[in-house]
Amino acid sequence: MRLNRYLALCGVASRRAAMQLVSSGRVRCNGRMVADPGTPVRVGRDRVEVDGEWVRPPRRWAYFAYHKPRGVIVTHRDEQGRQALDAVLRRLRPRLFAVGRLDRASEGLLLLTNHGALAQALLHPRHGVEKVYRVRVTPRPSAAQLARLSAGVTHRGERLQPSGVRLKRSSRTAAVLTIVMQEGKKREIRRMCRSVGLQVRRLRRLSFAGIHLGDLPPGAVRPLTTEERAHLAALTGLAL
Protein backbone atom coordinates (compact mmCIF):
# COMPACT_ATOMS: atom_id res chain seq x y z
CA MET A 1 0.00 0.00 0.00
CA ARG A 2 1.29 3.51 -0.83
CA LEU A 3 2.42 5.51 2.18
CA ASN A 4 -0.01 8.40 1.67
CA ARG A 5 -2.91 5.94 1.40
CA TYR A 6 -1.71 4.15 4.53
CA LEU A 7 -1.61 7.44 6.47
CA ALA A 8 -5.15 8.24 5.31
CA LEU A 9 -6.28 4.75 6.36
CA CYS A 10 -4.76 5.38 9.79
CA GLY A 11 -6.79 8.57 10.14
CA VAL A 12 -3.72 10.79 10.24
CA ALA A 13 -4.86 12.98 7.35
CA SER A 14 -6.45 12.89 3.92
CA ARG A 15 -4.21 11.54 1.14
CA ARG A 16 -3.40 15.07 -0.07
CA ALA A 17 -2.55 16.28 3.44
CA ALA A 18 -0.56 13.08 4.02
CA MET A 19 1.62 13.98 1.04
CA GLN A 20 2.42 17.29 2.74
CA LEU A 21 3.30 15.47 5.98
CA VAL A 22 5.75 13.29 4.10
CA SER A 23 7.32 16.15 2.13
CA SER A 24 7.85 18.14 5.35
CA GLY A 25 9.96 15.32 6.82
CA ARG A 26 7.55 14.37 9.60
CA VAL A 27 7.11 10.71 8.62
CA ARG A 28 9.41 7.76 9.31
CA CYS A 29 9.13 4.16 8.24
CA ASN A 30 11.07 1.59 10.26
CA GLY A 31 13.14 4.37 11.78
CA ARG A 32 14.05 6.11 8.53
CA MET A 33 12.66 9.41 7.32
CA VAL A 34 10.60 8.96 4.14
CA ALA A 35 10.47 11.61 1.42
CA ASP A 36 8.30 9.82 -1.16
CA PRO A 37 4.53 9.55 -0.43
CA GLY A 38 4.41 6.63 -2.86
CA THR A 39 6.74 4.50 -0.74
CA PRO A 40 5.17 1.02 -0.29
CA VAL A 41 4.13 0.06 3.24
CA ARG A 42 3.56 -3.52 4.38
CA VAL A 43 0.51 -3.29 6.60
CA GLY A 44 1.06 -5.09 9.89
CA ARG A 45 4.81 -5.42 9.31
CA ASP A 46 6.26 -1.93 8.82
CA ARG A 47 6.34 0.61 11.65
CA VAL A 48 5.23 4.05 10.45
CA GLU A 49 5.66 7.09 12.72
CA VAL A 50 4.39 10.67 12.39
CA ASP A 51 6.15 13.18 14.61
CA GLY A 52 7.59 10.25 16.55
CA GLU A 53 4.18 8.65 17.20
CA TRP A 54 3.48 5.14 15.89
CA VAL A 55 0.38 5.21 13.69
CA ARG A 56 -1.73 2.17 12.83
CA PRO A 57 -5.10 1.61 11.13
CA PRO A 58 -7.99 2.27 13.55
CA ARG A 59 -10.02 -0.56 14.99
CA ARG A 60 -13.20 1.41 14.36
CA TRP A 61 -14.33 4.36 12.25
CA ALA A 62 -15.47 7.57 13.92
CA TYR A 63 -17.55 10.47 12.57
CA PHE A 64 -18.18 13.85 14.22
CA ALA A 65 -19.66 17.25 13.42
CA TYR A 66 -17.70 20.24 14.72
CA HIS A 67 -18.73 23.91 14.81
CA LYS A 68 -15.51 25.71 13.93
CA PRO A 69 -15.44 29.21 15.45
CA ARG A 70 -13.88 32.17 13.71
CA GLY A 71 -10.17 32.44 14.46
CA VAL A 72 -9.43 28.70 14.47
CA ILE A 73 -7.05 27.48 11.77
CA VAL A 74 -7.88 24.12 10.19
CA THR A 75 -4.44 22.60 10.64
CA HIS A 76 -2.94 20.24 13.18
CA ARG A 77 -0.40 22.83 14.32
CA ASP A 78 0.54 26.44 13.67
CA GLU A 79 4.12 27.65 13.93
CA GLN A 80 2.91 31.17 14.73
CA GLY A 81 1.10 29.99 17.84
CA ARG A 82 -2.39 30.77 16.57
CA GLN A 83 -5.36 28.65 17.68
CA ALA A 84 -5.38 25.49 15.57
CA LEU A 85 -7.68 22.50 15.17
CA ASP A 86 -5.22 20.29 17.02
CA ALA A 87 -6.53 21.60 20.36
CA VAL A 88 -9.93 20.11 19.50
CA LEU A 89 -8.63 16.86 18.04
CA ARG A 90 -6.56 16.06 21.14
CA ARG A 91 -9.82 15.82 23.13
CA LEU A 92 -11.24 13.17 20.82
CA ARG A 93 -10.47 9.51 20.29
CA PRO A 94 -9.58 7.88 18.01
CA ARG A 95 -7.24 10.18 16.06
CA LEU A 96 -9.26 12.31 13.63
CA PHE A 97 -8.79 14.86 10.85
CA ALA A 98 -11.04 17.40 9.16
CA VAL A 99 -12.79 16.71 5.86
CA GLY A 100 -11.90 19.78 3.79
CA ARG A 101 -11.22 23.23 5.18
CA LEU A 102 -12.68 26.52 6.35
CA ASP A 103 -10.41 29.56 6.37
CA ARG A 104 -9.47 31.27 9.62
CA ALA A 105 -12.08 34.04 9.30
CA SER A 106 -14.92 31.61 8.46
CA GLU A 107 -17.03 29.53 10.82
CA GLY A 108 -19.49 26.68 10.76
CA LEU A 109 -19.70 22.98 10.08
CA LEU A 110 -16.66 20.76 9.69
CA LEU A 111 -16.84 16.98 9.53
CA LEU A 112 -14.18 15.13 11.53
CA THR A 113 -13.34 11.49 10.88
CA ASN A 114 -10.58 8.89 10.77
CA HIS A 115 -12.05 7.32 7.62
CA GLY A 116 -9.74 8.39 4.82
CA ALA A 117 -11.81 6.82 2.03
CA LEU A 118 -14.89 8.76 3.17
CA ALA A 119 -12.97 12.04 3.18
CA GLN A 120 -11.68 11.39 -0.33
CA ALA A 121 -15.14 10.50 -1.60
CA LEU A 122 -16.80 13.58 -0.11
CA LEU A 123 -14.15 15.88 -1.55
CA HIS A 124 -14.10 14.32 -5.02
CA PRO A 125 -16.00 16.35 -7.67
CA ARG A 126 -17.78 13.27 -9.06
CA HIS A 127 -20.10 13.13 -6.04
CA GLY A 128 -21.20 16.76 -6.45
CA VAL A 129 -21.37 17.21 -2.67
CA GLU A 130 -23.24 20.38 -1.76
CA LYS A 131 -22.04 22.86 0.84
CA VAL A 132 -24.46 25.56 1.99
CA TYR A 133 -23.20 28.89 3.36
CA ARG A 134 -24.79 31.91 5.02
CA VAL A 135 -22.85 34.99 3.88
CA ARG A 136 -23.19 38.59 5.10
CA VAL A 137 -21.92 41.09 2.52
CA THR A 138 -21.58 44.84 2.08
CA PRO A 139 -22.77 46.93 0.37
CA ARG A 140 -26.31 45.80 -0.38
CA PRO A 141 -26.01 43.96 -3.72
CA SER A 142 -27.85 45.18 -6.77
CA ALA A 143 -29.90 42.89 -8.99
CA ALA A 144 -27.05 43.00 -11.53
CA GLN A 145 -24.49 41.93 -8.92
CA LEU A 146 -26.66 39.03 -7.78
CA ALA A 147 -27.13 37.95 -11.39
CA ARG A 148 -23.37 38.02 -12.01
CA LEU A 149 -22.73 36.09 -8.81
CA SER A 150 -25.31 33.44 -9.73
CA ALA A 151 -23.87 33.06 -13.23
CA GLY A 152 -20.37 32.48 -11.86
CA VAL A 153 -17.22 34.56 -12.25
CA THR A 154 -13.68 34.15 -13.52
CA HIS A 155 -11.10 35.29 -10.98
CA ARG A 156 -7.45 35.40 -12.05
CA GLY A 157 -8.13 32.85 -14.76
CA GLU A 158 -10.02 30.44 -12.51
CA ARG A 159 -13.72 29.75 -12.97
CA LEU A 160 -15.77 29.99 -9.76
CA GLN A 161 -19.32 28.71 -10.10
CA PRO A 162 -21.97 28.49 -7.34
CA SER A 163 -24.84 26.01 -7.54
CA GLY A 164 -27.23 28.60 -6.17
CA VAL A 165 -27.38 32.13 -4.78
CA ARG A 166 -30.39 33.49 -2.87
CA LEU A 167 -30.97 36.81 -1.15
CA LYS A 168 -32.20 35.98 2.35
CA ARG A 169 -32.56 39.50 3.76
CA SER A 170 -31.12 42.95 3.26
CA SER A 171 -30.86 46.45 4.73
CA ARG A 172 -29.82 49.73 3.14
CA THR A 173 -26.13 48.93 3.56
CA ALA A 174 -25.77 45.14 3.74
CA ALA A 175 -27.36 41.82 2.87
CA VAL A 176 -27.34 38.17 3.90
CA LEU A 177 -27.04 35.61 1.11
CA THR A 178 -27.42 31.85 1.01
CA ILE A 179 -24.81 30.42 -1.34
CA VAL A 180 -24.58 26.76 -2.37
CA MET A 181 -21.28 25.38 -3.68
CA GLN A 182 -20.20 22.00 -5.02
CA GLU A 183 -16.51 22.77 -5.49
CA GLY A 184 -13.88 23.22 -2.83
CA LYS A 185 -11.53 25.85 -4.17
CA LYS A 186 -9.56 28.05 -1.80
CA ARG A 187 -11.53 31.05 -0.47
CA GLU A 188 -13.89 30.70 -3.44
CA ILE A 189 -16.89 32.55 -1.97
CA ARG A 190 -14.77 35.49 -0.83
CA ARG A 191 -13.16 35.71 -4.27
CA MET A 192 -16.51 35.44 -6.06
CA CYS A 193 -18.01 38.22 -3.99
CA ARG A 194 -14.96 40.44 -4.42
CA SER A 195 -15.15 39.97 -8.19
CA VAL A 196 -18.64 41.50 -8.30
CA GLY A 197 -17.84 44.34 -5.87
CA LEU A 198 -19.04 42.81 -2.59
CA GLN A 199 -17.11 42.44 0.66
CA VAL A 200 -17.72 39.36 2.84
CA ARG A 201 -18.24 40.41 6.44
CA ARG A 202 -19.23 37.04 7.86
CA LEU A 203 -19.26 33.54 6.38
CA ARG A 204 -20.77 30.47 8.03
CA ARG A 205 -21.11 26.96 6.61
CA LEU A 206 -24.57 25.65 7.47
CA SER A 207 -24.34 22.19 5.94
CA PHE A 208 -21.96 19.81 4.21
CA ALA A 209 -22.99 16.70 2.27
CA GLY A 210 -26.46 16.84 3.81
CA ILE A 211 -25.17 17.07 7.39
CA HIS A 212 -26.49 20.21 9.10
CA LEU A 213 -24.89 22.49 11.67
CA GLY A 214 -28.22 23.07 13.40
CA ASP A 215 -27.93 24.59 16.87
CA LEU A 216 -24.49 23.13 17.64
CA PRO A 217 -22.67 25.90 19.59
CA PRO A 218 -19.33 27.32 18.37
CA GLY A 219 -16.47 25.10 19.49
CA ALA A 220 -18.74 22.13 20.23
CA VAL A 221 -18.44 18.62 18.79
CA ARG A 222 -21.06 15.90 18.44
CA PRO A 223 -21.01 12.38 16.97
CA LEU A 224 -22.99 11.88 13.78
CA THR A 225 -26.29 10.08 14.23
CA THR A 226 -27.07 6.66 12.77
CA GLU A 227 -29.26 8.36 10.17
CA GLU A 228 -26.47 10.78 9.19
CA ARG A 229 -23.97 7.94 8.79
CA ALA A 230 -26.46 6.05 6.65
CA HIS A 231 -26.93 9.14 4.50
CA LEU A 232 -23.16 9.47 3.92
CA ALA A 233 -22.92 5.77 3.11
CA ALA A 234 -25.67 6.10 0.50
CA LEU A 235 -24.05 9.22 -0.94
CA THR A 236 -20.58 7.72 -1.30
CA GLY A 237 -21.28 4.00 -1.71
CA LEU A 238 -19.04 3.19 1.25
CA ALA A 239 -19.81 0.93 4.20
CA LEU A 240 -19.65 3.13 7.31
Catalytic residues: 103
By CB atoms closer than 10 A (0-12, 13-18, 19+), residue 22 is buried
Partnered with residue 181 across adjacent β-strands are: 131
CA distance 68 to 110: 7
CA torsion, ordered 121, 125, 129, 130, to nearest 10 deg: 150
Is the N-terminal amide bond of 94 cis, ω within 30° of 0? Answer: yes
Exposure of 63 in the CB half-sphere (CA atoms within 13 A): 19
C-alpha angle 205-210-212 in degrees, rounded to nearest 5: 50
Q: CA–CA separation, 100 vs 152, rounded Å?
A: 22
CA distance 72 to 91: 16
Show Cβ contacts of residue 240 under 8 Å, excluding neighbours closer than 6 positions: 61, 63, 115, 118, 229, 230, 232, 233
